Structure 1
Amino acid sequence: MRLIASDIDGTILGHDGSISVRTIAAFRDAADAGIDIVFVTGRPPRWLDPIREQIGHTGTVICSNGAVTYSLESESVTASHLLPWETVEQVRHIIAGLTPEPYFALESLDGLHVEPGFFAQSRPASLLDVVPAALSPGMADGGIIKMLSVLHTGSADEFLGLVRPSLGRLISVTHSAPELALLEMGPLGVNKAVTLAEYAAAKGIDAADVVAFGDMPNDIEMLGWAGAGYAMASGHPDALAAAALLAPRFEDDGVARVIEERLAALHRA
């Protein structure tokens, strides 16, 4: 074990925005043992406060499902994969032809842009300052890293199953929202595994020496690529089916328990 790659939401971070004391200690012990740590998330760079403030992570975070590599040490984007506006327009047209009343948003390197109707009755406190506006080509100037589409009925699994066959040659599409019919779309061929593999190669680390944790469909490729890919027992069925290994539930500090066991094995070796 030379590198630990972990998803954030639902894997180490709860709905209340907290990371357990045991999990924080496990990551710190791993770092003290010389193991590289990278967090791999669907979150954009502006939503990294939990790992910055609670874990004290100052290294690399792979954001937006692989579209952005971000340094917490320099607070800067070190690499990115962008969506062209032409692809955004094509995808909007296709999805609008497949289902009534889809709403769209764009995550760019300079912020979140949502169209009217994207938010339902309520929105997270972190998004209260986002003012809905018509999506326009000028938003591509900020570098589009993720496209979002939401339905206010149904499930994410149903929405994904509906649109994926028509989008497979244009864009990468996945989801990570357990209770919303919300899809996350990024540059074609880009996912968590692709960017994690680039990061590991730059460090001279083979996939066999990577331990990865995740819980949702946007983690599937990463869990399959890592030498030891652990799906959380509390995770999505598709993540569980894709992973060779199973970590205890999030509620049982599953990530921390696996890290503790692997560190103990290293010390015994």
Structure 2
Amino acid sequence: MRLIASDIDGTILGHDGKISPRTIRAFRAAEDAGVEIVFVTGRPPRWLDPLREQIGHTGTVICSNGAVVYDLVSERVTSSHLLPLASILRAREIIKDLVPDAAFAVETLEGFQLEPGFLEPGTVDLLAKVTPAPLRETVTAKSEVVKFLAVTRDSTADAFLARVRPSVDRLLAVTHSAAATAMLEMGPHGINKAVTLAEYAASRGIEARDVVAFGDMPNDIEMLRWAGAGYAMASGHERARAATALHAPDFSDDGVAQVLEARLAGLAKA
């Protein structure tokens, strides 16, 4: 084990925004043992405070499902893969025809743009400060979009994905990671967590067989399959669990910490 690659939400971070003390200790013990750590998430760079404040991570984070690589030390984007505006607008038209109540948003390197209806009424979070407006009015070819999102209130994430993917897949890669919201995340074809993680590992001279990865949702599947030891959370999505023979205990049982503790004990005996 030379590199640990971990998803964040639902894997080490709960809905309360907390990482358990046991999990924090496990990551710090791995770092002390000389194991490199990289977090691989669907989150944008500006939502990485839990890593800084709770774990004290100061390394690299692969964000936006692989579309962005961010350095927490310099607080800058080191690489990115952008979406063509034409593909975004065409995908929006297709999805709107298929699911009329769908609402849309884009994640850019500078921030977030969303349309009316994307947020549920009464939502109070960081996005509530963004003024909704049609994407045709707010997004241009210079907007540096790294993720396109669509949400519906009248479906599940899996059903929404099944309805939309056949028609949109030629334009954008489609996945989802929200456990309780029917929200789709679309990015550049050929880019996902596994692709960017593989590039990062290669730059460190680390092979897939020396990578231990953790994830819980469909957007983690490629990463779990690529890593030498890819652990799906027992509390995760059924498709993530089916993607790998290795399962970490439930998130609520500090599953990632349990696996890391056992692997670090094995390293100590070697």
Same fold (TM over 0.5): yes
Matched, 1:54 2:54: yes
Query: Deviations for 1:78-98, whole angstroms, at most 9, x for unmatched residues?
Result: 000000101101111111121
Q: Distance in 1 between matches of 2:40 and 2:247?
A: 18
Check whether the contact 1:147–1:184 (CA below 8 A) recurs between aligned residues: yes
Q: 1:140 to 1:32 in 2, by over 3 A?
A: farther
Q: Per-residue deviation at 1:122?
A: 2.8
Q: Per-residue deviation at 1:138?
A: 4.0
Q: Distance in 1 between matches of 2:195 and 2:183?
A: 22
Identity, % of aligned positions: 66
Q: Secondary structure at the match of 1:218?
A: helix
Query: Deviations for 1:214-259, whole angstroms, at most 9, x for unmatched residues?
Result: 0000000000000000000000000000022000000000000100
Unaligned runs of 5+ in 2: none
Q: Which residue of 2 aligns with 1:180?
A: 181
The answer to which of 116-125 and 232-241 deviates more is 116-125
The TM-score with structure 1 as length reference comes to 0.98
Unaligned runs of 5+ in 1: none
Aligned AA (1:141): K
CA-atom RMSD in angstroms: 1.0
Aligned AA (1:64): S
Q: Which residue of 1 aligns with 2:2?
A: 2
Q: Distance in 2 between matches of 1:54 and 1:82?
A: 30
Q: Distance in 2 between matches of 1:20 and 1:39?
A: 16
Query: Deviations for 1:67-108, whole angstroms, at most 9, x for unmatched residues?
Result: 000000100000000001011011111111212221100000
Check whether the contact 1:61–1:69 (CA below 8 A) recurs between aligned residues: yes
Q: Distance in 2 between matches of 1:110 and 1:145?
A: 10
Q: Distance in 2 between matches of 1:129 and 1:107?
A: 15
Q: Which residue of 1 aligns with 2:23?
A: 23
Q: Secondary structure at the match of 1:128?
A: helix
Q: Per-residue deviation at 1:206?
A: 0.3
Q: Secondary structure at the match of 2:142?
A: helix
Q: Per-residue deviation at 1:152?
A: 1.2
The TM-score with structure 2 as length reference comes to 0.98
Within a 5 Å distance, the mapping from 1:134-153 to structure 2 comes to: 134-136=134-136, 138-153=139-154
Q: Per-residue deviation at 1:174?
A: 0.4
Matched, 1:121 2:121: yes
Matched, 1:213 2:211: no
Within a 5 Å distance, the mapping from 1:20-169 to structure 2 comes to: 20-136=20-136, 138-169=139-170
Query: Deviations for 1:155-199, whole angstroms, at most 9, x for unmatched residues?
Result: 000000111111222111100111111000011111100000000
Q: Distance in 2 between matches of 1:248 and 1:214?
A: 12
Q: Per-residue deviation at 1:139?
A: 4.0
Runs of 4+ in 1 over 3 A off after TM superposition: 137-140
Q: Secondary structure at the match of 1:13?
A: coil
Aligned AA (1:165): P
Q: Distance in 1 between matches of 2:179 and 2:226?
A: 23
Q: Which residue of 2 aligns with 1:189?
A: 190
Query: Deviations for 1:96-124, whole angstroms, at most 9, x for unmatched residues?
Result: 12122211000000101001111112324
Aligned AA (2:169): G
Q: Secondary structure at the match of 1:54?
A: helix
Q: Per-residue deviation at 1:128?
A: 2.2
